[in-house]
Structure 1
Amino acid sequence: MEAENKKLDQFTKEVIQDAGLATPSVDFLANVMAEVSKEKVPVKVYKPLINKVGWLIIGTLFLIFSFVLTRFSLGFSILGDWDLSSLMLEKHEINVDIPITYAYCFFFLLIFVIIQITMISKRFSRSLEN
């Protein structure tokens, strides 16, 4: 068994030495890069489920619906004895006193949130382009 392994080992050494090392052509790298650049990579385009016109329609319908429910009484109600016109603020005269410090805090928080949203959306759109 040892003799067969030695003969096989000697044979493989001779075959490898006879074959020699293969060297690539001079233009090998350029040819490979040309083939790689030919391949098209699909570009993912961000498309929202609800576009701007859809959100505008939804917002408009919501405003109209809430206005109609709070301003008009149709004589009948699905909700029973609830009168939605009683939700008008003029009848209740609600006074809310917010300290000026809280107002400043909410104002600056709103500004920072808007800045963050714009920065994140720009970064997200750039990542989709790449």
Structure 2
Amino acid sequence: MYIAYLQTPLGVAHIEGDDEGIQKVTITNDAFPSVEAPTCEVVQSCVAQLKEYFEGKRQVFDLKLNPKGTEFQRRVWQDLLLVPFGRTTSYLALSRQLGDEKAIRAVAAANGKNPIWLIVPCHRIIGSDGSLTGYAGGLW
């Protein structure tokens, strides 16, 4: 497992991954670590693409992802990747897309467990009434 950090407008991005893909991206208010750790090409690419995103030069990420979760969670996270930059969808629409509109609570729970913030865009999913809810990083 390799770890990298990136200072962003939202805080310090904590990035974890290996040659199999990115496993975790979170944003913290922690101080930027002063020690550089060894990293791999996948993690370096993630850092570079996040920089581009925050500079307004990237809207779509092209990264190998390997989030840890149940099969259902991974299906939800895969479908989240289909929500385009600048667009939103609802939990109900996402559960229908997955083939079971009754799974809306399970979809919301999976969205809240998303370990790869920003890249897997759980922030683009809203309540049916347009409310902001369930984002893994919380609401600022």
Structure showing greater radius of gyration is: 1
Normalised by the size of structure 2, how large is the TM-score? Answer: 0.15
Larger RCO, structure (CA 8 Å, separation 6 or more): 1
Normalised by the size of structure 1, how large is the TM-score? Answer: 0.15
Give the structure with the higher percent strand: 2
